[in-house]
């Protein structure tokens, strides 16, 4: 059904660390009732998982393509995954 939760894993490259990217994702996830997490990777990318309604997850994926004002996104890789029933949004 269209309301069943979905899950997407995104990897964002560019100038995405040190610009409040993860916290911006967390705030948007909270406002759209999307669960998941975001973390800085050692290669300079930000990796995140979004789990929730198709509309909420789509909004987070779209935001990841630009990020906060200070970010410069070069690319976003989006992969479908099976939902795990996450709750809340963590910054790792």
List, for residues 36-61, the tens digit of each pLDDT value: 999 999 999 999 999 999 999 999 99
Q: What is the pLDDT of residue 83?
A: 96
Provide the token pair at 46: 């930000």
**pLDDT tier at 2, thresholds 50, 70, 90:** low
The residue annotated as part of the active site, out of 8, 9, 15, 22, is 22
Q: What is the pTM of this model?
A: 0.94
The residue annotated as part of the active site, out of 8, 9, 27, 40, is 40
Is 22 catalytic? The answer is: yes
Query: What separation in angstroms does the CA of 45 have from each of 6, 29, 41, 58, 68?
Result: 23, 19, 5, 20, 15
Torsion angle in degrees (nearest 10) through CA of 21, 76, 5, 27: 10
pLDDT at 29 > cutoff 70: yes
Q: What is the pLDDT of residue 3?
A: 75
63-73 mean pLDDT: 97
Q: Is 35 exposed, middle or buried (0-12, 13-18, 19+ CB in 10 A)?
A: buried
CATH topology of domain 16-91: Alpha-Beta Plaits (3.30.70)
Is 40 catalytic? The answer is: yes
């Amino acid at each position: 059904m269209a309301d069943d939760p979905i899950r997407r894993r995104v990897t964002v490259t560019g100038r995405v660390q040190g610009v409040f990217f993860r916290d911006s994702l967390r705030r948007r996830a909270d406002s759209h009732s999307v669960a998941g997490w975001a973390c800085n990777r050692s290669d300079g990318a930000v990796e995140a998982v979004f789990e929730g309604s198709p509309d909420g997850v789509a909004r987070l994926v779209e935001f990841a393509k630009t990020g906060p004002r200070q970010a410069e996104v070069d690319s976003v890789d989006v992969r479908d995954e099976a939902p795990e029933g996450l709750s809340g949004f963590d910054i790792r």
